[in-house]
Amino acid sequence: MDNFQFSNPTKIYFGTNSQHTLIENIDKSFKNIFLVSGKSSARKSGLLESIQNELISFGHTVFVFEGVSANPLLSHTNEGIKLCREFKIDAIVAIGGGSVLDEAKAIAAGVCYEGDVWDFFTKKALIKKALPLYTILTLAATGSEMNGNSVVTNDDTLQKYNTNSALIYPLASALNPMLTLGVPNDYLVYSAVDAISHVIEGYFTKQKPNSFVDRLCESVILTIIESTEMILKDPVNYEARGQFMWASCLALNGLMQTGISGFSFPNHIIELPLSAKFNVAHGAGLSVVIPAWMKWYENQNKAQFERFAKSIFDLNTSNEGIDALEAWFKKIGAPVRLGELGICEKDIEELSTMGTDLARLRGGLEKVYTPCVIENILKMAL
């Protein structure tokens, strides 16, 4: 095991009615609450109004901020920051999936910063203070409910970048599997791909073997595969939804990355330009990128790819494992070719340059993921 420090400050309330428990436990001294949600689903389901009324019943003044998009935008984030300052907000409650939670984190940090919040995403500034944040999860995928990561797209430059800080971990998050019942199948599928991607990045790219962490990762991957298939067959299967929700959370709450070092997130580096420029769902972009990247990277860690094939699919060779994962993506309805996303060969050069620009912000990874390398990987996905 490599040396590590691990701390996760987020309190999880899991299970039916967990959102009510969370609201009951919000600090009563937080008078003004900023309630952040997506474009329509939380309102249509009645959840937004229910949470708003419950917050009011506990003595909070609530300001509703809707309209977070699937790929959260910097312009909308800045609007939220402005309103938080105007209304003298004490804390934020976010209702939604990873996109809503990510924007809420950016707002929480931006309110406390005199400069441009985009500075956090371009590494020009570090987050030093943020508003308290609570989250109510309605779509499991990103692990944002229990980590300090945020991804936002600059709609002027089409740069989709991330920032992270211990200061933007939610204070508490409610995980009620019943609140995911309204998630359409395509977004369930994209969520499954996203959760798997968070695990395999470190699993394949870490500097040296770690069998215990590998077993943790494999358990999460197998649970995601199994529960996804169960939900697709039986959408109201509470146990399957619960397994999926908790596995997705563990995939990126830091646990799968303890005791390993030197790992990177190349699939995210390559995919984020796709969703920034073409506004495709992040998981949909990942299901195209991952098999292509695996085919390119396979020989750099062949033993681990063979382990993956055996542990996940009971197959023997690395090629078989890669093909099996791609076949599973197809089976559940995820895209595996750029053309399925409306992306053509002529787009690859620009996407490759955008990917290398992002790699530069990830600690010198532009030396590995040059435009030429990314172009070759993306061409495997045509």
72 close to 42: Cβ distance less than 8 angstroms: no
Segments in the chain below pLDDT 50: none
Answer yes or no: do 290 and 208 share one domain. yes
Answer yes or no: do 133 and 212 share one domain. no
* Secondary structure E strands in the chain: 11-14, 32-38, 61-68, 91-96, 133-137, 149-154, 159-164, 172-175
Rounded Cα distance between 289 and 102, Å, is: 22
Answer yes or no: do 220 and 140 share one domain. no
Answer yes or no: do 169 and 287 share one domain. no
Answer whether residue 311 is part of any domain: yes
Domain boundary among 148, 179, 210: 179
pLDDT tens per residue across span 144-191: 999 999 999 999 999 999 999 999 999 999 999 999 999 999 999 999
Rounded Cα distance between 86 and 137, Å, is: 27
Secondary structure class of 305 (helix, strand, coil): helix
Answer whether residue 232 is part of any domain: yes
Among candidate residues 95, 91, 259, 86, the one with its CA nearest the CA of residue 176 = 95
Answer yes or no: do 121 and 191 share one domain. no
Tell me how crowded residue 382 is: count the other CB atoms within 10 A of its CB.
13
Domain count across the chain: 2
Tell me how crowded residue 135 is: count the other CB atoms within 10 A of its CB.
29
368 close to 359: Cβ distance less than 8 angstroms: yes
198 close to 143: Cβ distance less than 8 angstroms: yes
Q: Which two tokens stand for residue 129?
A: 């203070």
Give 153's contacts (C-beta < 8 A, 6+ positions apart). Answer: 71, 72, 73, 74, 159, 160, 275, 276
Residue 5's pLDDT is 87
Answer yes or no: do 230 and 140 share one domain. no
Answer yes or no: do 195 and 336 share one domain. yes
Answer whether residue 90 is part of any domain: yes
Secondary structure class of 52 (helix, strand, coil): helix
Residue 355's pLDDT is 97
Q: What single string gives the DSSP state of each residue in 166-203?
A: GGGS-SEEEE-GGGGTT--HHHHHHHHHHHHHHHHHHH
Answer yes or no: do 58 and 113 share one domain. yes
Answer yes or no: do 175 and 197 share one domain. no
Answer yes or no: do 73 and 119 share one domain. yes
Tell me how crowded residue 328 is: count the other CB atoms within 10 A of its CB.
19
Answer whether residue 4 is part of any domain: no
Domain boundary among 179, 194, 222: 179
pLDDT tens per residue across span 201-251: 999 999 999 999 999 999 999 999 999 999 999 999 999 999 999 999 999
Q: Which two tokens stand for residue 305?
A: 């790819």
Answer yes or no: do 26 and 164 share one domain. yes
- Domain span at residue 201 reads 184-379
Pairing mode, strands 172-175 and 91-96: unpaired
Sheet holding 91-96, edge to edge: 11-14, 172-175, 133-137, 91-96, 32-38, 61-68
Residue 364's pLDDT is 83
Type of residue numbered 206: K
The domain that contains 283 carries what CATH number?
1.20.1090.10
Rounded Cα distance between 236 and 229, Å, is: 12
Rounded Cα distance between 47 and 43, Å, is: 6
Answer yes or no: do 159 and 24 share one domain. yes
pTM: 0.96
Among candidate residues 100, 171, 163, 108, the one with its CA nearest the CA of residue 137 = 100
Rounded Cα distance between 358 and 352, Å, is: 10
